[in-house]
Chain A
Amino acid sequence: MLAAVASLMLGSNLISAGQVVHALIDSAADLDAIVWGSRVPRTVLGIVVGFALGVAGAVMQGQTRNPLADPGIFGVSAGASLAVVVGVYVLRVNSPLVTSALALVGAVVASVVVFAIATAGRGLASPVPLAIAGTAVSALLGAITSFLVLTDQTTLAAYRIWVVGSLSGRNLDGTAAMVCLVAVGLVLAGLNAGSLNNLALGTELARGLGESLWRARLVGLAAITFLTAGAVSLAGPIGFIGLTAPHLARALVGGDHRRLLPASGLVGVLALLGADVIGRLIGGQAEVAVGVVLATLGGVVFVVIVRRAKLVAL
């Protein structure tokens, strides 16, 4: 809540809390353009993306039972990046809306491929093949992306801006579809929480408790794909939250996924909005992209917390 208010207030033009409320209610006010035109969409976006990534990360780590698993290892971010780069390379796409759509398609295709590979090798019973297949596919897609980027300066110019992830320069048109996608993902994640608690005991024990592995994996992976694909197409590949928010949430509320998922989402929102505000403030007119601030400062904060906290292992 506080982070959201701060996000509305702060920026290269400081606006007081009273003026924000005034502008929100009375559309005639001067600051209306800044608040409604730029800050509100941006804050909403930050909340949606941060929550989606936090929850997706928690589901991913629950599914793979691996502290190094982030939603990206499922191929989603790599697929989205490749689709965007191919779009620029082949079609010279520069409209944000088409870029978002391309990212979405790439993300979904990549995650379906990873799932198919993992299931072909009886991967559902153990979380390890899923993680390895995802890493291998991500690396392959990443290699193609780097190849295209290195051979073409125009593509590099577009890619290096997109890849750090940013909340700025987006408007609310066309985001409704992505938000729906995220909402579907959240529902699926909620349905998956009980299964994740069972999976945490090990697959044999989970099966003994009457858990259908197929259903548990499919629901969980669909949730991850929807959440991450939505977030990536909204704000670009913001990497840090999905990996670290679950660890912080686990230190706060423990390992029960029914509490862990929402807590991880809230940590994600806090981190993303906080980083966005800091990025706006320290950069002055040329603001620093949220992905950069998030990784740089978030990494430091994460290290400090991990050093102090009593760790709850997966």
Chain B
Amino acid sequence: MSGVELKARRDGIMLGPVGLPWRPRVLAATAVVAVVAALVFAGGIAAGSSGLSLPDVLAALAGVADSATSFIVTELRLPRAAAGAAVGACLGLAGALTQTFSRNPLATPDILGVTSGAAAGAVAAIVLGGGGYSVGASLLGFGIPVVAAVGGLVAAGLAYGLAWRGGVDSYRIILIGIGLTASLGGLTSYLLVRAQLTQASAASQWLVGSLSGISWASVWPMLAVLGCAVPVLITQAAGLTLGQLGDEFSVSLGLAVQRHRLIVIGVAVLLTAAAVSAAGPVGFIAFVAPQLAQRLAGTARPPLVASALTGAVVVLAADVLARSLLPGEIPVGIITAVIGAPYLIWLLIRRKDVR
């Protein structure tokens, strides 16, 4: 035996060194969201201009369908659905982390500078790079994700470094992030105003976020980051709960606050950078998914797994809606707000005991 023992007790679950409190409602909410995510995922593969039935999809995934169906499913629909789920999960999880460590429901990974850095990088590449036609669309298509990821990581590193004064205070890093985001945003809008209209249009398209034309090449980085994030976060879960009491309490209860904060911020930034470089800054997910998950699970802070799954549901549902119901193809970044905002508003109105 490896020394890992699984003990279910009335007050908690012990899994080796990791303990989780036993909360039926959180587990139930997470399970429900997971089932919904799976359904929307399958529906997302089935829906589209050439309608497929669910059995067709399953047959294609099992490798026993005719070649046309199997091409549509594995080459076109599956990467897109996987990308939608991964983008949603990355942003939902990053949002939950940011809202938790800053103890502020309005805090999204954007305030760490990562989104605005990625946007400034990508828009600069589109506008200064001469647009999609003169340089060559394939080069640009390869270049923009890389430029965006680098821009996002540099900006986030800058925010963290500038906020450092013998340790990073979660209030100060928020304010630094505001300033940095404003600067980079100003730069981005300057580029947009100065650009020719076609380039401005292309850049605006990128800035709302879209899943169209996404391939496996941009899905793998997100899955890799998600795969690394989950084990790291399991070790930080207790710290996230303790952190809700404030720095003084956390320190006196034995939490290495600075190391914990660096890990949490680092994971959130990596998740966001991966998602943004793949699909552009798909807005609103990082804000709405944790808020929805928190209300569904009835917890005091956003539950991590449920937030990631909720993010995946919202992005997948938005993508299905964009492809099947509406004329033309509307970028998914627009529909996410149309799906997420009314639901959150409804939860706000319905629940009388909102925190």
Tell me the bound Cα distance from A292 to B181 in angstroms: 12
Contact call A293/B341, Cβ cutoff below 8 A: no
Contact call A300/B183, Cβ cutoff below 8 A: yes
Chain A residues with CB below 8 A from B340, complex form:
136, 139
Cβ-closest chain A residue relative to B335: A143
Contact call B105/A131, Cβ cutoff below 8 A: yes
Contact call B200/A160, Cβ cutoff below 8 A: yes
Restricting to B306-355, which residues have a CB under 8 Å from any CB of A? 328, 330-331, 333-338, 340-342, 344-345, 348-355
Chain B residues with CB below 8 A from A160, complex form:
189, 192-193, 200, 204
Q: Known contacts A122-B352, A143-B337; is A295 also within 8 Å of B204 by CB?
A: no
Cβ-closest chain B residue relative to A130: B348
Cβ-closest chain A residue relative to B189: A164
**B281 nearest CB across to chain A (Å):** 12
Residue among A128, A144, A163, A244 facing the most chain B CB atoms (10 A cut-off): A128
Chain B residues with CB below 8 A from A303, complex form:
162, 176, 179-180, 183
From the candidates B178, B183, B190, B355, name the one contacting A243 in the complex (CB within 8 A).
B178
Q: Determine whether A126 belongs to the interface, using a CB cutoff of 8 Å to chain B.
A: yes
Q: Known contacts A131-B106, A302-B179; is A156 also within 8 Å of B348 by CB?
A: no
Contact call A289/B193, Cβ cutoff below 8 A: yes
From the candidates B175, B179, B208, name the one contacting A311 in the complex (CB within 8 A).
B175
Q: Determine whether A27 belongs to the interface, using a CB cutoff of 8 Å to chain B.
A: no
Q: Determine whether B278 belongs to the interface, using a CB cutoff of 8 Å to chain A.
A: no
Chain B residues with CB below 8 A from A132, complex form:
105-106, 291, 344, 348
Contact call A135/B106, Cβ cutoff below 8 A: yes
Contact call A164/B193, Cβ cutoff below 8 A: yes
Chain B residues with CB below 8 A from A295, complex form:
182-183, 185-186, 189
**B169 nearest CB across to chain A (Å):** 8
Chain A residues with CB below 8 A from B165, complex form:
307
**A312 nearest CB across to chain B (Å):** 10
Tell me the bound Cα distance from A302 to B185 in angstroms: 14
Q: How many residues of A contact B (CB 8 A)?
A: 61
**B59 nearest CB across to chain A (Å):** 36
Contact call A292/B330, Cβ cutoff below 8 A: no
Chain B residues with CB below 8 A from A123, complex form:
348, 354
**B146 nearest CB across to chain A (Å):** 24
**B173 nearest CB across to chain A (Å):** 10
Q: Known contacts A139-B283, A156-B204, A303-B162; is A117 also within 8 Å of B178 by CB?
A: no
Q: Determine whether B289 belongs to the interface, using a CB cutoff of 8 Å to chain A.
A: no
From the candidates A68, A128, A289, name the one contacting B178 in the complex (CB within 8 A).
A68
Contact call B345/A147, Cβ cutoff below 8 A: no
Tell me the bound Cα distance from A299 to B180 in angstroms: 6
Tell me the bound Cα distance from A299 to B176 in angstroms: 9
From the candidates A120, A136, A296, name the one contacting B186 in the complex (CB within 8 A).
A296
Please, what's the 1-or-0 string for A279-309, where 1 marks a CB less than 8 Å from any CB in chain B? 0000000001101111111111111001100
Chain B residues with CB below 8 A from A292, complex form:
186, 189-190, 193
Cβ-closest chain B residue relative to A113: B345
Cβ-closest chain B residue relative to A295: B186
Q: Determine whether A98 belongs to the interface, using a CB cutoff of 8 Å to chain B.
A: no
**A74 nearest CB across to chain B (Å):** 12
Chain A residues with CB below 8 A from B189, complex form:
160, 163-164, 291-292, 295
Cβ-closest chain B residue relative to A73: B106
Chain B residues with CB below 8 A from A126, complex form:
354-355
Q: Known contacts A149-B204, A150-B208, A303-B180; is A67 also within 8 Å of B338 by CB?
A: no
**B5 nearest CB across to chain A (Å):** 40
Tell me the bound Cα distance from A139 to B178 in angstroms: 18
**B109 nearest CB across to chain A (Å):** 13
From the candidates B106, B184, B201, B334, name the one contacting A146 in the complex (CB within 8 A).
B334
Tell me the bound Cα distance from A73 to B105 in angstroms: 13
Q: Known contacts A129-B348, A139-B340; is A67 also within 8 Å of B355 by CB?
A: no
Chain B residues with CB below 8 A from A147, complex form:
330, 334
Contact call A121/B197, Cβ cutoff below 8 A: no
Q: Determine whether A82 belongs to the interface, using a CB cutoff of 8 Å to chain B.
A: no
Contact call B349/A117, Cβ cutoff below 8 A: yes
Contact call B179/A306, Cβ cutoff below 8 A: yes
Q: Determine whether A161 belongs to the interface, using a CB cutoff of 8 Å to chain B.
A: yes
Q: Known contacts A68-B106, A303-B180, A311-B172; is A143 also within 8 Å of B162 by CB?
A: no
**A25 nearest CB across to chain B (Å):** 38
Top 10 A-B pairs, shortest CB-CB distance: A295-B186, A299-B183, A296-B186, A302-B179, A299-B182, A143-B337, A303-B179, A140-B341, A139-B337, A68-B106
State the B residues within 8 Å of A (CB): 104-107, 111, 162-163, 165, 169, 171-172, 174-176, 178-187, 189-190, 192-193, 197, 200-201, 204-205, 208, 283-284, 287-288, 291, 328, 330-331, 333-338, 340-342, 344-345, 348-355
Q: A68-B106, A132-B291, A299-B185 are in contact. List 17 more A-B contacts (CB 8 A).
A: A67-B171, A68-B111, A117-B345, A121-B351, A122-B353, A123-B348, A128-B105, A147-B330, A156-B200, A157-B197, A291-B186, A292-B186, A292-B193, A295-B182, A299-B184, A299-B186, A306-B176
State the A residues within 8 Å of B (CB): 66-69, 73, 117-118, 120-123, 126, 128-129, 131-133, 135-137, 139-140, 142-144, 146-147, 149-151, 153, 156-157, 160-161, 163-164, 239-240, 243-244, 247, 288-289, 291-303, 306-307, 311, 313
Q: List 14 A-B contacts (CB under 8 A).
A: A67-B174, A122-B353, A135-B106, A136-B340, A153-B201, A160-B200, A164-B193, A244-B178, A292-B190, A294-B186, A295-B186, A296-B182, A306-B175, A307-B163
